[in-house]
Amino acid sequence: MSQSPNQHGLAEHSHGAVIPLQIRIDRPKSTSVSDFPAISKTQDLWRYLDVEQLAGLDADVLAEYKEQVSFTSQEGLSVSWIPSTDSRVGAIGIPEDRVSAAAYTNASETLLVEINSSLAEPATISITGVDKAASALHLLVVTKPQVEATLVLDYRGIGVLGENVEISVGDQSRLNLVSVQTWDKGSVHVSAHYAKLGRNSFLKHTVATFGGDLVRITPISTLSSPGAEVEMNGVYFANSGQHIENRPFVDHAAPNCKSRVTYKGALSGDKAHTVWIGDVLIRVAAEGTDTYELNRNLLLTDGTRADSVPNLEIETGEIQGAGHASASGRFDDEQLFYLQARGVTEAEAKRLVVFGFLLELIQRTNVPEVIESLSKVLEEKLEVN
């Protein structure tokens, strides 16, 4: 829940800093960079990182990322570039911070992904970085009513990318969207996802982050029609010096909607840092809401830091249920003892525990190619550690 303000109207946080209290729904929204102040750690939104880590993504002028984007084609799927002045762009969501506004302003074209009928196979949009120039990208994903599809956003290579992704899920449609970040060392990726769900629709949104110096993803799901349901999953592994930040937000704006948020991560190495800020808003109109959010982190070595803050804002008492949980700690001694008692070495036991801990979320993607590739990445990370 939100922390209590002191006599100056400020919230005091565990690290001792005094930062202006800001309710989630009160954040300013704008497509103009000038409407947001220069970024500093005194702002609650940016208090976990230094502005230098953004590698220029907060600047007024960014390059465009169009040449680094490729995609598969299949029946029922239409992919094209449209001007970002098109009225459809920005209809789902607009920036809530300076980096998102810079990316919005500098992406003169938007990649429109239209899912017109159910897809037989997962579709993939590949974003491959080739240099460290601070760049902007805008994606718009639209599903028609009563379709079922899986879409994978695959980020790799080396790049510095500011991004906005809009997702419109049509009435009675089911969309499984998977965002995979296996960037090379030296990469920076800051992305805002805005999803709007239609009546009786379902969105499974998964974020898997295993690479990059700084990766910060803010997925925002608005349940704007009755009967909508969202499942937001996240899995991540931070090595020495990596900063991985996830800020999921579920906005319950209509009655009888359901949300489940589950993020799990592991950290290993000096100054490995993860941040999870989970926000859920239940508006006055959202009677019958059923929501729960969970974040768990495994700290594998000394020198790691996992910040985890679940928040609930509830404006009506007429709900089915609302809860959250957060835990960060070392290995489960009982699990290790069980494995070692059966002849497994301590090192192998720890590896198996971590692999099983994270594999559950990887498997939830339901995409065989993603499960296979991320399992290999996870195995490689565990061998190093």
Q: What percent of the chain is modeled with pLDDT above 90?
A: 80
Around Cβ 269, how many Cβ atoms within 10 Å?
A: 17
Sequence letter at residue 326? S
Residues contacting 383, CB < 8 A, separation 6+: none
pLDDT tens-digit series, residues 222-232: 999 999 999 99
What is the full DSSP assignment across 28-56? ---S-GGGSPPP-TTSGGGTTS-GGGGTT
**In the predicted model, what is the mean pLDDT of residues 50-75?**
94
CA 178 remoteness from chain centre: 10
Higher-confidence residue of 2 and 380: namely 380
What is the full DSSP assignment across 305-360? EEEEEEEEEE--S--SEEEEEEEEES--HHHHHHHHTTT--HHHHHHHHHHHHHHH
Q: Does position 45 have pLDDT exceeding 80, yes or no?
A: yes
Q: Does position 4 have pLDDT exceeding 80, yes or no?
A: no
pLDDT tens-digit series, residues 192-213: 999 999 999 999 999 999 999 9
Opening angle at CA 1, ends 298 and 310, nearest 5: 25
Q: Does position 70 have pLDDT exceeding 60, yes or no?
A: yes
pLDDT at 334: 66
Categorize the per-residue pLDDT at 383 as very low, low, confident or very high, splitting at 50, 70 and 90: confident
SS3 state at 246: strand
Round to whole Å and give the CA distance between 148 and 170: 10
Residues contacting 250, CB < 8 A, separation 6+: 221, 223, 230, 232, 259, 261, 279, 280, 281, 291, 293
pLDDT at 10: 34
pLDDT tens-digit series, residues 320-375: 899 999 888 776 666 666 556 666 666 667 777 788 889 999 999 999 999 999 99
Higher-confidence residue of 350 and 147: namely 147
**Backbone φ and ψ of 360, nearest 5°:** -55, -45
pLDDT at 353: 78
- Each domain of the chain, given as residue ranges in start order, spans 29-330
pTM of the model: 0.91
Can you read off the two tokens belonging to residue 353? Answer: 């525990």
pLDDT at 310: 94
Q: Which residues pair with 92 in a beta bridge?
A: none
